[in-house]
Amino acid sequence: MIISVASGKGGTGKTLVATSLAVSLENQVQFLDCDVEEPNAHIFLRPVIDRQEVVAIPIPQVDEQKCTFCGKCAEVCAYSALAVLPKTVLVFPELCHGCGACSYLCPEGAISEVERGIGIVEMGHSGDIEFIHGKLNVGEAMAPPVIRAVKGHIDPRKTVLIDVSPGTSCPVIEAVRGSNVCLLVTEPTPFGLNDLALAVEAIRKLSIPCAVLVNRAGVGDTKVEEYCREADIPVLLHIPLDTEIARLYSRGIPLVEGMPRWREVFLKLFGDIQDVASMQHNGRKVS
């Protein structure tokens, strides 16, 4: 089963929840940190990293001996990564998405492709938890290829927990795509509700069932619950606003490690998440 843990808004405690689920389950768990622009699950899980691979995308290289400067490559590039001047072709690597359209359509066969590294994937273990995370190089904008590279390591025999970046943009969609269920972590505030609704809209487009966890319960109002009731989305757990929990979070200690009584709560949460996924699988409307 693949469970993605997402949030419409940053700072809701998503990683606290994802890492606590992993530590509670412990066996046969794969933890994928797909928040490749700002991975931080390793702070909580403290994995031993033993392998690394470079993530690269193919970018064009123009042979100006063959090029007639016809301009077709710049025309077909949807990302303005090429500029054709009278006597040269400029390539802007940081804008290139590696789609290959320019080399495919060049009438002179003047474009070959070279690899450009944009990030890395690191693999290791945190106890019995298999840990994988991606890191996008500083200054790079192309998170999806790094996310795909992380997800390329998914072991379908295991329970896979995916820590998704906050928001509703392309990296979120790339990370959540293919999950059996998505747990959305939010907080009971107007901002939390607004961003939750946006996240639900995005996840529903992927036809992935979702459920909600309310973190810092008690800090705001009950509008998140009202929204979930109306939208038919199960709220599986409330984690209260608690200075001890905040202290553990600030020190990078998983909740269930610092407060072991939460382990049972997270094991029940896992069972409830499985129920949400199987209800959808059996054709019942759950979200």
Given the rule CB under 6 A, which residues bind ligand SF4? 59-60, 62, 67-73, 76-77, 79, 81-82, 84, 89, 96-102, 106, 108, 110-111
CB 250 within 8 A of CB 283: no
Least distance to ligand SF4, CB of residue 62, Å: 5
| H helices present in the chain, as ranges | 14-25, 41-45, 72-76, 101-105, 143-151, 170-176, 190-205, 223-231, 243-250, 255-258, 262-281
Nearer to ligand SF4 by Cβ, of 84 and 273: the residue is: 84
Return all residues near 207 (Cβ < 8 A) that are at least 6 apart: none
Least distance to ligand SF4, CB of residue 79, Å: 5
Nearer to ligand SF4 by Cβ, of 25 and 102: the residue is: 102
Question: d(Cα 233, Cα 231) in Å, to the nearest integer?
Answer: 6
Least distance to ligand SF4, CB of residue 136, Å: 17
Least distance to ligand SF4, CB of residue 74, Å: 7
Least distance to ligand SF4, CB of residue 57, Å: 8
Nearer to ligand SF4 by Cβ, of 79 and 246: the residue is: 79
CB 29 within 8 A of CB 186: no
249 burial level (CB within 10 Å; 0-12, 13-18, 19+): middle
Q: At what angle do helices 223-231 and 190-205 cross, to 10 degrees?
A: 20
- C-alpha angle 183-185-189 in degrees, rounded to nearest 5: 145
Nearer to ligand SF4 by Cβ, of 114 and 246: the residue is: 114
Least distance to ligand SF4, CB of residue 246, Å: 44
Question: d(Cα 245, Cα 252) in Å, to the nearest integer?
Answer: 11
132: which 2 tokens? 């994988």
Nearer to ligand SF4 by Cβ, of 72 and 223: the residue is: 72
Nearer to ligand SF4 by Cβ, of 6 and 89: the residue is: 89
